[in-house]
Structure 1
Amino acid sequence: MGLSERERAECRKLLELLETDELMALADTVTNRLVLPEGRQEAIHAILVYSESVEELLKRKKVYRDTIFKYLTGQGVVVSPGSEKHQLIHCAKKHCSGQLKDHIAKTEDIKPNKQNCEQRQKQQDENDWHGLGREFCQWFFELLNSQHPLGRPSKEQWGPQHFWEDVKLKFCYNTLEQNMEEYVGAELVSLRLLSLVKEEYLLLNPNLDSGGLKCVISPHGLVLVAVAGTVHRGNICLGIFEQIFGLIRCPIRENTWKIKLTNLKIVGENALEPGAQVQKPSIKYESNELTELYNGKELSMIEPQILSNMCTELGE
Structure 2
Amino acid sequence: MSGLSETERLGCTEILKLLSNRDLLSLSDTVTNKVIVVENSSEALETILIFSKNAEELLRRKKVQRDLIFRYLAKQGVAMAPISDKHQLVKRTLELWKAVLDKRPQGLKDGTREKEPSETASDTLNLKVTVGFDPQVLGQQFCQWFFQLLNSQNPSLGQAPQDWGPQHFWPDVKLRLLARAGSVQMEEFLGAELVSLRLLALTKEERLLLSPNLEPLGLRTLASPHGMVLVAVAGTIHRDSNCLGIFEQIFGLIRIPLENNSWKIKFVNLKIRGQEALGGTEATAPALTYNSTELQLLCS
Q: Residues 87-116 of structure 1: CA distance to partner in whole angstroms, max 9, x if unpaired?
A: 334x7xxxxxxxxxxxxxxxxxxxxxxxxx
How has the CA–CA distance of structure 1 residues 264 and 52 changed in structure 2, closer, same or farther, with 3 Å as cutoff? same
Question: Aligned with 2:261: secondary structure?
Answer: coil
Structure 2 Cα separation of the partners of residues 210 and 246 of structure 1: 19
Deviation at 1:286, TM superposition (A): 3.6
Q: Corresponding residue for 1:310?
A: none
Structure 1 Cα separation of the partners of residues 259 and 197 of structure 2: 24
Unaligned runs of 5+ in 2: 8-106, 121-125
Q: Residues 175-232 of structure 1: CA distance to partner in whole angstroms, max 9, x if unpaired?
A: 0010000000000000000001111111100000111000111111110000000000
Structure 1 Cα separation of the partners of residues 242 and 129 of structure 2: 38
Q: Corresponding residue for 2:130?
A: 88
Structure 1 Cα separation of the partners of residues 197 and 252 of structure 2: 18
Q: Corresponding residue for 2:283?
A: 278
Given that 2:127 and 2:138 are in contact with CA atoms closer than 8 Å, whether structure 1 keeps it comes out as no
Question: Aligned with 1:255: secondary structure?
Answer: strand
Q: Corresponding residue for 2:254?
A: 248
1:1-316 aligned at under 5 Å gives the runs 1=5, 50-51=111-112, 86-89=128-131, 128-151=134-157, 153=159, 156-273=162-279, 275-291=280-296, 293-296=297-300
Give the TM-score taking structure 1 as reference length.
0.54
Structure 2 Cα separation of the partners of residues 153 and 237 of structure 1: 21
Structure 1 Cα separation of the partners of residues 157 and 263 of structure 2: 25
Aligned letter for 1:290? L
Given that 1:231 and 1:237 are in contact with CA atoms closer than 8 Å, whether structure 2 keeps it comes out as yes
Structure number with greater CO (CA < 8 Å, separation at least 6) is 2
How has the CA–CA distance of structure 1 residues 215 and 48 changed in structure 2, closer, same or farther, with 3 Å as cutoff? closer
Given that 2:249 and 2:268 are in contact with CA atoms closer than 8 Å, whether structure 1 keeps it comes out as yes
How has the CA–CA distance of structure 1 residues 154 and 208 changed in structure 2, closer, same or farther, with 3 Å as cutoff? farther
State the identity %.
52
Structure 1: 4+ residue segments shifted above 6 A: none
Aligned letter for 2:214? L
Given that 2:237 and 2:246 are in contact with CA atoms closer than 8 Å, whether structure 1 keeps it comes out as yes
Deviation at 1:153, TM superposition (A): 3.6
Structure 1 Cα separation of the partners of residues 157 and 269 of structure 2: 24
Unaligned runs of 5+ in 1: 4-45, 61-83, 92-124, 297-316
Structure 2 Cα separation of the partners of residues 258 and 85 of structure 1: 11
Deviation at 1:253, TM superposition (A): 3.8
Q: Residues 114-144 of structure 1: CA distance to partner in whole angstroms, max 9, x if unpaired?
A: xxxxxxxxxxx6xx11010000000000000
Deviation at 1:254, TM superposition (A): 4.4
Structure 1 Cα separation of the partners of residues 175 and 185 of structure 2: 14
Structure 2 Cα separation of the partners of residues 288 and 186 of structure 1: 28
Deviation at 1:256, TM superposition (A): 1.2
Structure 2 Cα separation of the partners of residues 47 and 205 of structure 1: 29
Q: Residues 249-302 of structure 1: CA distance to partner in whole angstroms, max 9, x if unpaired?
A: 1124441110000000110001222x43324211133435422x2131xxxxxx
Structure 1 Cα separation of the partners of residues 244 and 198 of structure 2: 19
Aligned letter for 1:86? K
Question: Aligned with 2:248: secondary structure?
Answer: strand
Aligned letter for 1:186? A
Structure 2 Cα separation of the partners of residues 285 and 197 of structure 1: 25
In our comparison, the structure showing a higher alpha carbon Rg is 1
Structure number with the higher helix fraction is: 1
Given that 1:240 and 1:267 are in contact with CA atoms closer than 8 Å, whether structure 2 keeps it comes out as yes
RMSD: 2.9
Deviation at 1:85, TM superposition (A): 8.2
Question: Aligned with 1:229: secondary structure?
Answer: strand
Deviation at 1:243, TM superposition (A): 0.4
How has the CA–CA distance of structure 1 residues 223 and 178 changed in structure 2, closer, same or farther, with 3 Å as cutoff? same
Paired positions, count = 190
